[in-house]
Amino acid sequence: MRPAWDEGVVQKDPSLFADVPTSPEDIELDDRLMAGLGHGCRGLFITFEGLDGTGKSTQMELLAERLRAAGHSLVTTREPGGTALGEAVREALLAKGEGEHEMDPKAEAFLYTAARVQLVEEVIRPALEAGEIVLCDRYIDSSLAYQGYGRELGYENIISMNMWAVDGLLPDLTLVMLAPEAVRRRRLSGAEADRLESSGDDFFRRVEDGYRRLVADHPYRIRAVDAGGDVHEVGDRVLEVLREELDLDLAPQSR
Ligand code: TYD
């Protein structure tokens, strides 16, 4: 059986959309509008989110392997980066300058957004239009969590600039990996911290709280995944969410 999204329709309960506003004046940034209706393409767009050390990149790679093994055509990419411009911006964003002025939070927000625009137009939208599955390591929700909540620029400012920047292209499904601080620290130990990772504990608490708020406020698009435990156990939790949300059935990894 072809999965529902292959027909251009993400399988979700239609009653969820019954009172979604239809006149342009009424259209607010409603979660139901954003849940899988955002890009209007045949493909499927899934993003991975979470604090550093939650294992989201590993989980994304594992899922990519599972999808490829099941015969799906897919594109994997990451933010910031994924294009020549994006990689240049990434260097500017993550470099720890010595004796320089600190990067202004708004400048930071615009740089992440600029890299995102390039990635969407060069890679993500064309792949979705071609009917492919796109897996992206971080997307708009990183800006909402890190710049909106972490840097305290505000949800509204960040969502507005981003929705304008990417012409409303939102994921069908976003997985937020959540792991206790001790687990994250253990997974990160040894690696040298970049500029973002060198921000203080208060910043990361705000980012983590931000992710939790995003999960609570966007139940139709965002799902939290318990990222504690063995990598294949977490992988199976990811597959369970895909089954529930997208009717995408893949065999478990841990057995
Ligand atoms: P990276 O080394 O890719 O971290 P990770 O492996 O955890 O994804 O660095 C990306 C950093 O940029 C990470 O600390 C999160 C941050 N970030 C933002 O602050 N805003 C954004 O919009 C994005 C995409 C990333």
pLDDT tens for residues 37-59? Answer: 557 778 999 999 999 989 999 99
- Total domains in the fold of the chain: 1
For residue 53, give the ligand 1 atom closest to its CA.
7
Cα–ligand 1 centroid distance for 196 (angstroms): 7
Q: Does residue 21 fall inside a structural domain?
A: no
Q: What is the largest CA-CA distance in the chain?
A: 60
Q: Indicate whether 60 belongs to any domain.
A: yes
- CA nearest to 168, candidates 60, 7, 45: 45
Residue 224 lies in a domain: yes
Residues 94-145 pLDDT 10s: 998 766 678 999 999 999 999 999 999 999 999 999 999 999 999 999 999 9
What pTM does this model have? 0.85
Is there a domain that residue 253 lies in? no
* Per-residue pLDDT tens digits for 196-251: 787 888 999 999 999 999 999 999 899 999 999 999 999 999 999 999 999 887 87
Q: By residue range, what is the domain housing residue 171?
A: 40-246
pLDDT of residue 153: 98
How many CB atoms lie under 10 A from the CB of residue 119? 23
Q: Find the CATH number of the domain harbouring 87.
A: 3.40.50.300
Ligand 1, residues at Cβ distance < 6 Å: 52, 57, 79-80, 94, 112, 137-138, 142-143, 146-147, 194, 196-197
Tell me which residue has tokens 């130990």: 189
165 found inside a domain:
yes
At 129 the pLDDT is: 93
Q: What spacing in Å lies between the alpha carbon of 141 and ligand 1's midpoint?
A: 11
**Residue 138 — left, alpha, or beta (φ > 0 → left; ψ -120 to 50 → alpha)?**
left
